[in-house]
Amino acid sequence: MQYVQPVLSKVLAFLCATAMSAVAFADEPVTLLGTIVKWRYPDAEIGKSQMSDAATIDRDGKRTVPSSVLKTTMMTRDPVDDVIAFYRELLTRDATNDSKLGIGVTVGRSVVFSDESDGCPFAFHTIVVNSTGTSTTLVITRGADEEQTRITWKQYIKHEVGG
């Protein structure tokens, strides 16, 4: 599989950051790259990124709330254990980490780490972080013969729109 060249990746990231934004809370704009950077593994190469309408609907197909989905893939040469350790530290509950991630210190949240590697020919870990208005999933994988660890990041955001 070919990866986006670093120069093209930077141009794409710049265009996405400037062209794609939404309002999550009345006073706080959400930008694709601005949100990804908060979750970025140190020095990881950010690949193709996307922000789109999450189309949150009820069982009748009617829209229930404005929402967005942000996603990207990051690549690093660091081993999976280092990546997991970084996210364990980042997701340790304290005001500095919560502020960095944009989670209010008074907002409740849950964090679940899961290792699904058993029986697989590759490392396969998931991290799920849920709070009042967001749900973030990280999938961390690396094959035994691969030179890089892949971090697939997705975030669902429920937007509060003033009326």
Question: Is the pTM higher than 0.95?
Answer: no
For 45-78, write each residue's pLDDT tens digit: 999 999 888 878 888 888 888 888 999 999 999 9
| HSE of 153, CA atoms in CB hemisphere, 13 A | 26
What percentage of the chain exceeds 70 in pLDDT? Answer: 77
Domain residue limits, the chain: 6-158
Q: Which CATH number fits domain 6-158: 3.30.1360, 3.40.1000, 3.40.1010, 1.20.272?
A: 3.40.1000
Note the pLDDT of residue 89.
Answer: 92
> Which helix (H) or strand (E) is 143 found in, with range?
strand 134-143
For 21-42, write each residue's pLDDT tens digit: 333 344 567 788 888 999 999 9
